[in-house]
């Protein structure tokens, strides 16, 4: 049931580093060069997600971005209205030192946007079911190595690792490509020059099918190497341990015996990235287990009532993340 315990986040609010913003704007993008394009699903999947690496050496972006920030990409050509494509944002999926160790090669996790209906105002009515092919994601995924990529950014300053990660523990919760920033953050935590972080770090990812899991082998290998890191997968469209598919918050609820100590620790930070709406189930689950107050403020009219009955609208409107919760959902 929802806890009315006083907030305990004040003393444990993380100190965030200063980050640079908008070094390259859309009127003056920089030009990078595609140097890597690899599928990063877990075998044969019905979706296509690529780990895209871009060399930005010689540009203002080199060495000046962090995981958790985003890069903007300007696809070449014109949109259906004859206007230049708008900037599309992708999370930085590498550590601050890039894929090359020098911050010159930056990476993103790009899923081809393909749907059987135009999911925008161009739709010509309910019978219009032509294939919609997203301009930017498909440009990036089609591009051969060497292609010039127009980039802007970095954007975002609030979804980053704290200045002193050793003072905190971490629960990272991702849906689909929302795992992109966590790939970069995990590499920062475990591959930094001063040696791996000794804090406890948990990653929970959600995917429709096991074949959609992203960077799965790399996360498994990380868990093999580091006893303080664990990795769990919530698969929504396959039969799970309870006989049905599950979302990330269902998995956390089912395995609360595993996560409780981490979530109860006053030094733990919660990072959530992916689909807008995934946070509501998670906040309800935390509240149900009496763990919400550290991560969200619960309004007086909901406190003391059954969190499982809280309507989505009320959760979205009423529950506010504390400084120990980081949300990046679209």
Q: How far is CA 104 from the centre of its chain?
A: 22
Question: How many residues sit in the footprint of ligand NAP (CB under 6 A)?
Answer: 26
Site residues for ligand NAP, 80-109, by CB under 6 A, read: 90-91, 108-109
Which residues pair with residue 88 across a beta bridge? 73
Q: Using CB under 6 A, pick the residue from 42, 152, 236, 325 that binds ligand NAP.
A: 236
Q: Using CB under 6 A, pick the residue from 178, 222, 263, 307 that binds ligand NAP.
A: 178
Quote the CA–CA distance of 1 and 213 in Å, as a whole number. 32
Site residues for ligand NAP, 24-43, by CB under 6 A, read: none
Measure Cα distances from 165 to 120, 160, 299 in Å: 41, 11, 30
Residue from 155, 137, 222 nearest 186 by CA: 222
Q: Which residue lies nearest ligand NAP, judged by its C-beta?
A: 176
What is the nearest approach in angstroms of ligand NAP to the Cβ of residue 274? 4
Stretch that binds ligand NAP, among 30-38, 57-65, 174-182, 256-264 (CB under 6 A): 174-182
Which residues pair with residue 34 across a beta bridge? 54
Q: Using CB under 6 A, pick the residue from 106, 185, 201, 273 that binds ligand NAP.
A: 273
3-state secondary structure 124-192: CCCCCCCCEECHHHHHHHHCCCCCEEEEEEEECCCCCCCCCHHHCEEEEEEEHHHHHHHHHHHHHHHCC
User: In this complex, which beta carbon is closest to ligand NAP, that of residue 40 or of residue 262?
Assistant: 40
The sign one gets for the Cα dihedral 281, 70, 149, 108 is: negative
Q: Using CB under 6 A, pick the residue from 43, 266, 277, 304 that binds ligand NAP.
A: 277
Site membership for ligand NAP, residue 144 (CB under 6 A): no
Site for ligand NAP, rule CB under 6 A: 90-91, 108-109, 111, 175-178, 180, 206-208, 212, 236-237, 247-248, 273-275, 277-278, 281, 328, 330
């Amino acid at each position: 049931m929802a806890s009315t315990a006083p907030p305990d986040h004040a003393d444990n609010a993380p100190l965030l580093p200063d980050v640079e913003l908008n070094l390259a704007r859309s009127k003056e993008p920089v030009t990078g060069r595609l140097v890597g394009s690899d599928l990063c699903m877990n075998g044969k999947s019905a979706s296509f997600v690529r780990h895209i690496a871009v060399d930005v050496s010689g540009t203002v972006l080199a060495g000046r971005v962090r995981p958790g920030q985003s890069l903007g990409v300007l696809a070449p050509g014109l949109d259906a209205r004859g206007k230049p494509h708008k900037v599309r944002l992708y999370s930085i999926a590498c550590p601050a030192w890039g894929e090359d160790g020098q911050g010159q090669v930056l990476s993103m996790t790009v899923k081809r946007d393909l749907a059987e209906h135009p999911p925008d105002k161009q739709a010509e009515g309910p019978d219009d079911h032509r294939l919609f092919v997203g301009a930017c994601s498909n440009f990036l995924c089609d591009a051969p190595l060497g292609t010039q990529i127009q980039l802007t950014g970095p954007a975002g300053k609030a979804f980053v690792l704290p200045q002193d990660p050793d003072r905190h523990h971490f629960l990272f919760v991702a849906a689909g490509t929302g795992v992109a920033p966590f790939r970069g953050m995990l590499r920062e935590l475990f591959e930094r020059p001063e040696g791996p972080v000794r804090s406890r770090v948990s990653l929970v990812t959600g995917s429709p099918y096991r074949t959609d899991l992203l960077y799965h082998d790399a996360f498994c290998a990380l868990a093999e190497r580091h006893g303080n890191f664990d990795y769990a997968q919530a698969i929504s469209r396959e039969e799970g341990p309870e006989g049905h598919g599950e979302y990330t918050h269902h998995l956390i609820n089912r395995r609360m015996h595993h996560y409780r100590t981490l979530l109860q620790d006053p030094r733990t930070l919660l990072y959530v990235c992916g689909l807008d709406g995934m946070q509501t189930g998670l906040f309800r689950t935390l509240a149900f287990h009496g763990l919400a107050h550290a991560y969200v403020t619960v309004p007086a009219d909901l406190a003391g009532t059954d969190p499982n009955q809280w309507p989505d609208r009320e959760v979205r409107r009423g529950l506010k993340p504390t400084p120990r919760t980081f949300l990046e959902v679209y």
